[in-house]
Amino acid sequence: MKIGRREFVVVSGTAAAYALSTSFKVHGESKMYGLIGKMLAAEGKRDELIRILLEGTDKMPGCLSYVIAKDPSNKDAVWITEVWKDKESHAESLKLESVKAAIAKARPMITGFGERFETEPVGGSGLT
């Protein structure tokens, strides 16, 4: 499909207007930071691992969203989706005693990791 110059200008202008009207951070403000990762549990330990991962997640400053999900195609896999105020908030969370304790408790149940993606969330339901 070929797009003409006039259509290109209209579409580009509309996209720019939309971008400016959403929650994009501009002029040096910090950007939200996102992580999506797959964790593999020892056989039969997924539910126990999930319980540990969910302990104390409401007390992580700068965390805007922390979602743990079962992978329906792999009985031992867990997906973790996180959105943070900024990358620094995520780094600071790893220093919290509650997070260190959860990591230590979960480590024996973790057999590996799958895909891991860093993202730059720009908005959505529950995010400002």
> What's the per-residue H, E or C state across the chain?
CCCCHHHHHHHHHHHHHHHHHCCCCCCCCCCCEEEEEEEEECCCCHHHHHHHHHCCHHHCCCEEEEEEEECCCCCCEEEEEEEECCHHHHHHHCCCHHHHHHHHHHHHHEEEEEEEEEECCCCECCEC
Sequential pLDDT tens for the chain (128 residues): 565 555 544 444 444 434 433 444 443 456 999 999 999 999 999 999 999 999 867 789 999 999 999 999 999 999 999 999 999 999 999 999 999 999 999 999 999 999 999 999 998 888 86
pLDDT at 59: 83
Query: What is the CATH code of the structural domain delimited by 30-119?
Result: 3.30.70.100
pLDDT at 24: 45
